[in-house]
Structure 1
């Protein structure tokens, strides 16, 4: 019997999941949970038209390296393992994070049609249109020193995404240890990819930046940047999504503990995202930061991101200038 293209796509998608069959496709020896997972997956894929299946397969096989469209499906939940799961939870468990437990751990990317649409009757089930949220390492720092009237003042107009369109919202500088490499990269769109090697796409390509006499440490670290990060300006702040296969390390004024000399550097694992700059906290910090606690130059609108290597109190590198490859995100605030 001849197989249709549609059935072939469905089979390829099932075979592409994170945990492939150990007993083959005949089902012998599979656990009941595996069978339920397969049934739920096939039930979801049956809702998709052939073109949507093509799009989903391309995203899965390229591991997010190729730009791909949304794959929209009804929000009807699916049942497996004695639980119900949303379509986006199921596909992200299948293709990205097998330990994922709840949809609340996921964040749609800014360009996804599901971003900011939690009540829409349809939802995107492209697993590479989602990142996994970083959990807080400690309770949120206190920002309660303002009066109630001050707490509800509007955010700085230049940093708010609802403000009139600016010429650009940030500049990006790329550094290798203490040396800045290349020119500042100016960002006009709401999101930008910063990468070393991406199969297809646009953005700031670090692989094209040349420098004589690179050390072996820098060369090895550059090789780990891969798909890099996606930086996006969103309604509540600036977010960084780690698209690479290695961790990134982040520091910004809104991640630090207010009125403390302790530097906070957050480790962000592959596939995870973190709000690297919070508009509301930035506004509050302007009123709460004590000047005598600042050591040397301080930029309240600068974010620093290191690829693969951490720095600070928990690492052997005390300063980011000791990191082989790092970025300085200079947010536009009427500089």
Structure 2
């Protein structure tokens, strides 16, 4: 490919599954060509955006696919604006209590409309309803009034009381490890915490030693493991792939069984209850966190006081179970009742919160034995 071809489509016939096989490995054709000719470190189609002038871009879902690497551009990580924090925050006298969802039974939903399955040729419509392992069908659909796009969030202007305060900008810094992953069996943590440094990594049920791009659960031992956990572990298989690209986190189900995700950030985007658990079928992916949405929420919360900012720590934790789900539509109503699950802590947003809270000073509510 040379500059003369930069405006000419290079077309391949789209295969049945939308993929191209090279050296016994399948991949999306435009990703393979972009990796070969432009970006050797390219991990996923999430990192690519088609140029507007290309009529045969992969996302157009035509019979022919353009693989000209110069018809695609790489998604850049957006720069998050700093949060302006008063040096001495004036806490309002009346403040809403912190939401506590730990004792509520999570609602359930299926793979939502408007989220593109990993195989892009599949129509973007909600699935007709799944048969859960409890033998009950779930036809829960998104409320038509729910906005499937990003929420319209913008920082509130500083209140008049804050105009004369000494505002300190607190910037976001990208950590060396973008997330930390802990593995659990029922209510017991098993093994060491995995620290993810690569933008693409998998959590699977195989027995290879873990490395920077792979967290293998098959080698982990637990003397308290029961038969139900053992059976579930056998079905984890290829597990889940996690991407951190352009300030967004995606989860792609590689397993032959569904995964179940509880992401407060994702739930807010779709207008669901913060504790909702979303079922992700095999071969589909879901955006589970967006840094820009979080930045807008943080900027708003600073004006509401220490407790409002501290509450955002819940948004930086994502729980995900393999094979077996939990929530109102299942026998298991808490994640600690599922045989195999992981908990992700997003280190960048958590560290940003810590710096903002440090700048804000003490909470308005004194700590006590009953607080």
Q: CA distance change for structure 1 residues 288 and 313 in 2, over 3 Å: closer, same or farther?
A: farther
TM-score, scaled relative to structure 2: 0.51
Q: Kindly indicate whether structure 1 or structure 2 has the higher relative contact order, using CA contacts under 8 Å at least 6 residues apart.
A: 2
List alignment gaps of at least 5 residues for structure 1: 1-41, 46-51, 74-108, 125-129
- 1:319 equivalenced with 2:334 (yes/no): yes
Alpha-carbon shift at residue 283 of structure 1 (Å): 2.5
Residues paired across the two proteins, number: 233
Alpha-carbon shift at residue 315 of structure 1 (Å): 2.3
Query: Would you say the 8 A contact 1:265–1:311 is kept in 2?
Result: yes
Q: CA distance change for structure 1 residues 123 and 322 in 2, over 3 Å: closer, same or farther?
A: farther
2:296 is matched with 284
2:118 is matched with 131
Query: Would you say the 8 A contact 1:195–1:205 is kept in 2?
Result: yes
Quote the Cα distance in structure 1 between the aligned partners of 2:219 and 2:249: 25
Q: 1:305 aligns with which of 320, 332, 341?
A: 320
- 1:72 equivalenced with 2:33 (yes/no): yes
1:55 is matched with 22
Quote the Cα distance in structure 1 between the aligned partners of 2:42 and 2:319: 21
Quote the Cα distance in structure 2 between the aligned partners of 1:254 and 1:277: 6
Alignment of 1:1-335 (within 5 A): 55=22, 58-60=24-26, 71-72=32-33, 111-112=43-44, 115-119=47-51, 122=67, 131-132=118-119, 137-138=142-143, 139-140=146-147, 143-144=152-153, 146-147=155-156, 157-158=172-173, 163=174, 166-197=175-206, 202-257=213-268, 263-286=275-298, 287=300, 299-332=314-347, 333-334=350-351
Q: Secondary structure at the match of 1:299?
A: helix
2:57 is matched with none
Q: CA distance change for structure 1 residues 123 and 236 in 2, over 3 Å: closer, same or farther?
A: farther
1:7 is matched with none
TM-score, scaled relative to structure 1: 0.56
Query: Would you say the 8 A contact 1:177–1:323 is kept in 2?
Result: yes
1:89 is matched with none
Q: CA distance change for structure 1 residues 183 and 157 in 2, over 3 Å: closer, same or farther?
A: same
Q: Deviations over 1:191-235 (max 9, x none)?
A: 111101289995100001111131111011111110011111111
Q: Say what the alpha-carbon RMSD is for the aligned residues.
A: 4.5
Query: Would you say the 8 A contact 1:198–1:227 is kept in 2?
Result: no
Alpha-carbon shift at residue 257 of structure 1 (Å): 3.8
Alpha-carbon shift at residue 255 of structure 1 (Å): 2.2
Quote the Cα distance in structure 2 between the aligned partners of 1:269 and 1:311: 15
Alpha-carbon shift at residue 282 of structure 1 (Å): 1.9
Q: CA distance change for structure 1 residues 194 and 292 in 2, over 3 Å: closer, same or farther?
A: same
Query: Would you say the 8 A contact 1:257–1:264 is kept in 2?
Result: no
